[in-house]
Amino acid sequence: MNILETLQQRFATVLEDFTDNVGPFVEMIRPSQDAKFGDYQANCAMPLGKQNGTAPREVALKIVDKLNVADLCEPSEVAGPGFINLTLRTPWLEDLINRIAHDERLGVEAVAKPKTIVVDFSSPNVAKPMHVGHLRSTVIGDSLARVFRFAGHQVITDNHIGDWGTQFGMIIYGFKHFVELKAYEQDPVGELARLYRLVNQLCDYHDAKSKLPELKEQIERAETRLAEMDPDSPDKQQKKAYKKQSSEIAGLRAELKTLKAKIAAVDDDPELKELADKHPQIAVDSRKQTAKLHAGDQENVRLWDEFLPLCVEALQKIYDRLDIAFDHTLGESFYNDQLADVVKDLEKKGLAVESDGAKCVFLEGHAAPFIVQKADGAYTYATTDLATIKYRVEEFGADQMCYVVDARQSEHFSMLFKTARAWGYNDVELQHVQFGTVMGKDGRPYKTRSGDTVGLESLLDEAIAKASEIVAANDDAKKDADGNPRPELSPEYRAEIAEAVGLGGVKYADLMHNRESDYVFDYDKMLATTGNTATYLQYAHARIYGIFRKGNILPAKLRSEVPRIEIKDPTERALALRIARYSEFLSDVVADCRPNLLTQYLFDLSNDLTAFYAACHVLNAEDEQTKRSRLMLCDVCARVLSHGMSLLGIKAPQQM
RNA sequence: GCCUCGGUAGCUCAAUUGGAUAGAGCACUGGUCUUCGGAACCAGGGGUUAGGGGUUCGAAUCCCUUCCGGGGUACCA
């Protein structure tokens, strides 16, 4: 059961006497910020007092008078300007925790009205290896899907991979001109990745060369203008303009530097230079390969058919490591034959019009149009995304779609959703679940020292390698009663734990931050053995199993014996209450698509557990009944911990 | 230029969407314990929530304004 909801319902009937619109006031019943104000508090008396022209305290007293919560709360108190403080009766909480302890769903009821929710996440471009930029979408999307599903919704996960775009043209071009067949036979995906990087580099080279003169001129012009400005002008406007101009020049210079670096990288390498000279039109020609593929060119389609499964398989390897599965992998190519109809329909409905040769949807509030077909006839991802919405509504019966995608694409989604609604898809709830950038310690987007993006695979390897050292060091330090070294874990089990700790650390670090803000990627912090990390939760869980092992307790057997949990110590009460509030937090995660609420909950739960653990002996409890009560409390806590972690996609080992 | 998202403790981040004295972790200081698993626990210091103004019983949160930073901005996805 959801305690908060129960209280809100009780209030709702009372509040009807005070207002016609109880909704917003019921929302003002919430958990207390501070334990000294009780467990929950109602803040609705102040605004109601104002609305009705009565003193808030008086309103609060009247509400309390009519309120019927005597079964679950101590007598309510009115405090301050009119806060109503509610404290749960411990016997009532005790009954509740005992029910939860024997409930498979840990007291979490499934939603009354399940929706069909499509979660669109990860969505890498298959032509290039996954990198750190895909981490958040993948980890957050997976967790949300798990939470939605547990909440009782029908969830469809769909990996909308990029398998049809410009990048594939580049690979095909690369394959036709630069492939090393031996390498391709040995490691096809590695060779394709090399080809992609090579073609990309050569494209960048020519692009940089062509841009260079103009950029230099631009800088000169800007500098001339700057020289005419007065940095110490008394006029604020002019001073500001000067600053702006300087920063613009700094930006242009930085751009110049990267361009020069790209050019130098090729010029300094005779082999690359030769290739670059031989392929001056590589960018245009790569695009032509893409166009040929889309037009159904036999050779290119054959190559695509050959490459795609290899690429998808390589992706799958990473998903397997991450313990992530999709119900569907419907990439861009899947919608190819539906795109022409989408544009036709948009035109028919007067939404898409021609402009500069392209077919565009113009939307209020947006300067740039939503381009559904380019001047050269090719379709864009706007078109594909529209086709995807249509497909998901018609084939999946989707009530809701969550796009777990970088915040930088917010304008695209805003336009996409507006267009979709204008197109007639009004009933489906479309949601851009956006997130911030993964930054390096320098506060810039996370890159390797040489400036490349960090591959996801090597990132995971690194995390697990570091975790291995920590796990080994910890196990090696274990001692027996006489103080002699006595490691407990087999090499195999150590490896398993290192994997759980390493991957868990990476995922947890990502999930614990408010998804909308950028966060700094730092191995040392995410794998730290102290503080708010996955390891801390895992350790809390393992400690409970440590007690079970030491006491020869089998949790399943314990449960079947139905010992009653008795709440005596304040730490027991705090722990029980936290456990009982699991369902509240999950419904918040569902409502806001914010897994960090769950990580915070689990961290608090672990803290409550260790506090309880420090204050109350379990195996050495004062009597058998208390011991069994506490064991049972440990058991239900361990179940919530491991269940909550599973919703984050994190493993909870029983021993560490 | 326009649009958009940010600025919170030394550092990394929260803050239940307008609630009571802004909280955690790291780092720092001090303490606990016969280690049911010390990867622990308890306590303490540390804040003009970028600056200024406004709205109201009440503001980190809403409005205005200034400063600083990120991102986006017509045929890449």
Strands A352-355 and A358-361: antiparallel
> Per residue in A153-176, pLDDT tens?
999 999 999 999 888 899 999 999
In this complex, the nucleotide whose C1' atom is nearest to the CA atom of residue A536 is B39
The domain ranges of chain A are 3-88, 116-162+308-439, 166-298, 499-647
User: Tell me: domain A116-162+308-439, CATH 3.40.50.720, correct?
Assistant: no
> Per residue in A437-455, pLDDT tens?
888 887 778 887 767 788 8
Nucleotides of B under 7 A from a protein CB: 1-6, 12-17, 19-20, 24-27, 36-42, 56-58, 67-77
Distance A52 CA to B60 C1' (A): 30
Distance A603 CA to B42 C1' (A): 18
| Cα A506 from Cα A504, distance rounded (Å) | 5
Task: List beta partners, residue A381.
Answer: none
Distance A77 CA to B21 C1' (A): 19
Collapsed DSSP state (helix, strand, coil) of residue A21: coil
> Per residue in A296-351, pLDDT tens?
899 999 999 999 999 999 999 999 999 999 999 999 999 999 999 999 999 999 99
Domains A116-162+308-439 and A499-647 share a fold: no
CB A352 within 8 A of CB A361: yes
∠A380-A457-A314 over CA atoms, to 5°?
60
Q: Cα-atom radius of gyration of chain A, to the nearest Å?
A: 30
| Cα A8 from Cα A39, distance rounded (Å) | 14
Tokens in use for A302?
A: 């054959």
In this complex, the nucleotide whose C1' atom is nearest to the CA atom of residue A522 is B12
Distance A268 CA to B14 C1' (A): 49
> Per residue in A214-264, pLDDT tens?
888 888 888 888 888 777 776 666 777 777 777 777 777 877 887 888 888
Per-residue confidence (pLDDT) for residue A312, from 0 to 100: 92
Distance A251 CA to B4 C1' (A): 20
DSSP state of A521: -
Over residues A385-407, mean pLDDT: 96
| Cα A489 from Cα A500, distance rounded (Å) | 14
- Distance of CA A339 to CAs A287, A373, A385, A413, A510, Å? 19, 9, 10, 18, 36
Percent of chain A with pLDDT over 70: 99
Most confident of A57-61, A66-70, A579-583: A579-583
Per-residue confidence (pLDDT) for residue A304, from 0 to 100: 95
In this complex, the nucleotide whose C1' atom is nearest to the CA atom of residue A381 is B77
* Nearest alpha carbon to residue A420 among A346, A335, A338: A346
Residue for token pair 């919704």: A153
In this complex, the nucleotide whose C1' atom is nearest to the CA atom of residue A384 is B77
> Per residue in A279-302, pLDDT tens?
999 988 998 999 899 888 999 999
pLDDT classification of A481: cutoffs 50, 70, 90: confident
When the pLDDT of each residue in chain A is averaged and rounded to a whole number, the result is 91
CATH topology of domain A3-88: Gyrase A; domain 2 (3.30.1360)
CB A282 within 8 A of CB A202: yes
> At a CB cut-off of 8 Å and minimum separation 6, what does A347 contact?
A353, A359
* Nearest alpha carbon to residue A38 among A11, A82, A77, A71: A77
Over residues A519-546, mean pLDDT: 92
**Which residue lies nearest B15, CA-to-C1' measured?**
A33
Q: Is the interface score ipTM higher than 0.90?
A: yes
> Per residue in A606-656, pLDDT tens?
999 999 998 999 998 888 999 999 999 999 999 999 999 999 999 999 999
CB A416 within 8 A of CB A386: yes
Tokens in use for A207?
A: 């692009």
Residue for token pair 């103009």: A214
In this complex, the nucleotide whose C1' atom is nearest to the CA atom of residue A439 is B70
In this complex, the nucleotide whose C1' atom is nearest to the CA atom of residue A373 is B75
**Which residue lies nearest B74, CA-to-C1' measured?**
A368
Within a 10 A sphere around the Cβ of A632, how many other Cβ atoms? 23
| Cα A267 from Cα A310, distance rounded (Å) | 33
Distance A593 CA to B71 C1' (A): 22
Does pTM surpass 0.90?
A: yes
Within a 10 A sphere around the Cβ of A83, how many other Cβ atoms? 20
Distance A195 CA to B37 C1' (A): 52
> Considering the domain A499-647, what is its CATH architecture?
Orthogonal Bundle (1.10)
CB A138 within 8 A of CB A262: no
- Distance of CA A646 to CAs A145, A491, A652, Å? 12, 24, 8
DSSP state of A638: H
> At a CB cut-off of 8 Å and minimum separation 6, what does A493 contact?
A655
Distance A25 CA to B2 C1' (A): 39
In this complex, the nucleotide whose C1' atom is nearest to the CA atom of residue A617 is B36
Over residues A579-599, mean pLDDT: 94
